[in-house]
Amino acid sequence: MAPRKLAAGNWKMNGDLASLDQVDALVTAAAGAGCDVLICPPALLVYAMATRVGTGELLVGGQDCHAKASGAHTGDIAAAQLRDVGATHVILGHSERRADHAETDAIVAAKAEAAHAAGLVAIICLGETEAERDAGSTLDVIAAQLAGSVPEGATAANTVIAYEPVWAIGTGRTPTVDQIAEVHALLRDHLAARLDDGADVALLYGGSVKPGNAAEIFAIPHVDGALVGGASLKAGDFAPIIAALDAA
């Protein structure tokens, strides 16, 4: 079974209720597409977006969850709470969370376990910094993050891996085709060796994915979709990326 293709949009700390107008066009873009389409808005918009799209083609997710199911964790959100308001996925371990909130691989793995327990698909993010890339340690960094961030119990049904080189996120810079291919081949090999269905885990690329480069990226072996930032905020930008993945 081939991995299910996924076009995922991460709105980060952007958007408001008026932004949900973009969702109507994305529902149309997602309808009948040969890939899954997901939007992860800020937490305050998850319920409103999920209610607006209903149970159709467009999926809705969160951008983070706590490792605990409940308790005295002011300002945090439990995975089950995301699920309760209509989320199907949650992004975990994004480099901005790792940098801004000192999230370690162990913390990410614990959050992924909580997501799995709540019935959410965990999108686990990995990526090297520019210094690590320049030092030639990219593959070692990615292998270590993968080993430490993916918990026991991970399967192709409950886990997606997103490779996002930190130096490419929001900068307009994109790794070469060969650089992306090298990392995705490593991810596939390590997952296949560790998980019974590791060959079927969807692998996303993220980092300045745009309509203009999407087709080239989706032609790379073991790239099963994208985790898109800024280009997912407007349907006019995200719809061509969805179409490119559908055609890949």
pLDDT computed for residue 93 by the predictor: 98
Average pLDDT of span 151-172 = 93
Q: Annotated catalytic, 94?
A: yes
Of 191, 238, 246, nearest in space to 8 by CA: 238
Q: Annotated catalytic, 130?
A: no
Could you say which of 3.30.70.100, 3.40.47.10, 2.60.40.2890, 3.20.20.70 is the CATH number of the domain covering 6-67+75-243?
Answer: 3.20.20.70
Cα-flanking dihedrals φ and ψ of residue 73, to 5°? -135, 75
pLDDT computed for residue 57 by the predictor: 86
Query: What count of residues does the chain have?
Result: 248
Of 61, 113, 65, nearest in space to 92 by CA: 65
Q: What is the DSSP letter of 118?
A: T
Q: What is the pLDDT of residues 30-86, one digit of tens each?
A: 988 899 999 999 999 999 999 999 888 899 999 999 999 999 999 999 999 999 999
Catalytic residue among 96, 103, 128, 164: 164
Q: What is the pLDDT of residues 24-46, one digit of tens each?
A: 999 988 988 899 999 999 999 99
Q: Please name every residue paired with 38 in a beta bridge, in sequence order, or none if there are none.
A: 8, 59
Catalytic residue among 94, 116, 184, 222: 94
Of 120, 208, 196, nearest in space to 163 by CA: 208
pLDDT computed for residue 36 by the predictor: 96
**Domain-by-domain residue ranges, the chain?**
6-67+75-243
Q: Is 195 helix (H, G, I), strand (E, B) or coil?
A: coil
Helix axes 21-30, 43-53, angle to 10 degrees: 50
